[in-house]
Structure 1
């Protein structure tokens, strides 16, 4: 059972796709596009992650879609961590179609100041998500990793997922590796944090990345987190800015010497508590 822990769906009218650099992926991506890529790559199930539309309606739509799509085993929906009625918002999602497939919540922390996760209202939101039995999914910039470590340490009974290894500057080579290793090591020391081997090709040189560019970052992640706290994620269709779905999967398999069961399946199943037959 191979699980892709990180894929998106969207329509061409998402506001952030208006950037000129994103023309290549400015189109509708739907379930049939997903299925075609999964079949070609030999992937069985996925986790559908919010796609930065930034409204609760997207989560409602994704849950209903997941309920009708066998390949989608769980949804990480969007919600504002500072929503004063976050508990009610989560309860409403769970009461709707596909609500049982809600496995995590992701706010767009990467667009906030470096210390955003230190704010009392944000910490309260993280607690609400954890108390609901859901994963706190974090998409952050590398500079925000110290705040991730502090938040995870302050909520030891919560489950955290770090997207894209915390966005290391892969294109910067050795300097990017040194900076990221220093900042991610305290995060990895928190046993309640699982990291995704995802989004790496777009943090490298999108026009000319190689497997060797990614290799030291993946090797360091295995060293720091261990394979039991790492998950394969395609970050499709964002990855199409730099690579096809198959190229992302193949690159990771080449670096890891195969498709280890934990990284390619069981870690995602246990972290998100996916119900897969």
Structure 2
């Protein structure tokens, strides 16, 4: 099964979705499974993982409803307040919904570079394992030192770095990012998504060669057995249509063996998110 391991759905709300500014007009509308399905079919992708974009449990339920109404959505990465004293109760609730495979917090939006090291947040992370939930790590490169400590603190918790940790592709900065990514990849329970790259590049003028140093780094660090393809649709539309962004990963992995390509394009995501 080929899987897009990272995409979003929303019914656009200008207040709730204030991060989608007027300059992002192309994505200031509703995006639902019926919009994505033909794109996946054209790209040869069988299924997808819907990832939260709003920090509310209403978002988690919305994504579950999307999944239940569509054959393409096989997993949901939702949101709960992992800092809450009631986190165990909320996780037990969502454990009753088999489509919910894990959770994410938008750490990149937190002003504290050491947010991931907060005791209350780590208490919530420690509670995920009881129910077999995964955790998606969404950070900027300057937050990677905290990620290093964070992943070491939870050695048995399956985690995945979203969007290669958003390296500064447009600025062609790679040194510090590479150093931290290599250290994080030493932890075998951490994976990495090949996603979200086009919006970190010069969005209107990028070339495939711009991404190669970053892709080379994560391939060397994580190996093909811990990488997974993701589109970051519809956010990717700010810089590329579905087919064009997919071609970046497809062309990059074309030199790998057929089995390694299958791992990156679906098998790894299926195992990580327990998709059958």
What TM-score, normalized by structure 1, do the two folds share?
0.94
How far has the Cα of 1:17 moved from its partner? Answer: 4.3
Partner residue of 1:134?
133
* 8, 27, 30: which one aligns with 2:29: 27
User: When the two structures are aligned, how many residues end up with a matched partner?
Assistant: 269
Contact 1:45 1:71 in 2 (8 A): yes
Structure 2 gaps of 5+ residues are none
Paired with 1:46 and 1:218, the residues of 2 have a C-alpha distance of: 22
* 79, 98, 101: which one aligns with 2:99: 101
Contact 1:136 1:160 in 2 (8 A): yes
Local SS of the residue matching 1:182: helix
Paired with 2:42 and 2:7, the residues of 1 have a C-alpha distance of: 15
Paired with 2:84 and 2:169, the residues of 1 have a C-alpha distance of: 34
Contact 1:17 1:26 in 2 (8 A): no
Paired with 2:95 and 2:223, the residues of 1 have a C-alpha distance of: 32
* Structure 1 runs (4+) greater than 6 angstroms displaced: none
Local SS of the residue matching 1:82: coil
Which structure 2 residues correspond to residues 223-242 of structure 1 after superposition, within 5 A?
Answer: 223-242=220-239
Paired with 2:160 and 2:248, the residues of 1 have a C-alpha distance of: 22
* 173, 188, 192: which one aligns with 2:189: 192
Instruction: Tell me if 1:87 matches 2:88.
Output: yes
The C-alpha deviation readout for 1:136-167, integer Å capped at 9, x for no partner, is 11111111112112111111111111100111
The C-alpha deviation readout for 1:47-91, integer Å capped at 9, x for no partner, is 00001x211011012112212211111000011220211121122
How far has the Cα of 1:18 moved from its partner? Answer: 4.5
Paired with 1:59 and 1:18, the residues of 2 have a C-alpha distance of: 19
Instruction: Tell me if 1:145 matches 2:147.
Output: no
Paired with 1:125 and 1:205, the residues of 2 have a C-alpha distance of: 37
Paired with 1:269 and 1:90, the residues of 2 have a C-alpha distance of: 21
Partner residue of 2:123?
124
Paired with 2:51 and 2:207, the residues of 1 have a C-alpha distance of: 26
Partner residue of 1:3?
3
Contact 2:32 2:66 in 1 (8 A): no
Which structure 2 residues correspond to residues 209-224 of structure 1 after superposition, within 5 A?
Answer: 209-224=206-221
Partner residue of 1:247?
244
Paired with 1:47 and 1:89, the residues of 2 have a C-alpha distance of: 21
* 105, 108, 111: which one aligns with 1:110: 108
Contact 1:4 1:46 in 2 (8 A): yes
The C-alpha deviation readout for 1:171-218, integer Å capped at 9, x for no partner, is 111xx1112101211111111100000000001111111100011111
Paired with 1:212 and 1:253, the residues of 2 have a C-alpha distance of: 13
Paired with 1:149 and 1:208, the residues of 2 have a C-alpha distance of: 33
Which structure 2 residues correspond to residues 35-46 of structure 1 after superposition, within 5 A?
Answer: 35-46=37-48
Local SS of the residue matching 1:103: strand
The C-alpha deviation readout for 1:110-142, integer Å capped at 9, x for no partner, is 111111111111111111122221001111111
Paired with 2:67 and 2:133, the residues of 1 have a C-alpha distance of: 17
Instruction: Tell me if 1:50 matches 2:49.
Output: no
The C-alpha deviation readout for 1:27-50, integer Å capped at 9, x for no partner, is 000111110211111100100000
Instruction: Tell me if 1:265 matches 2:266.
Output: yes
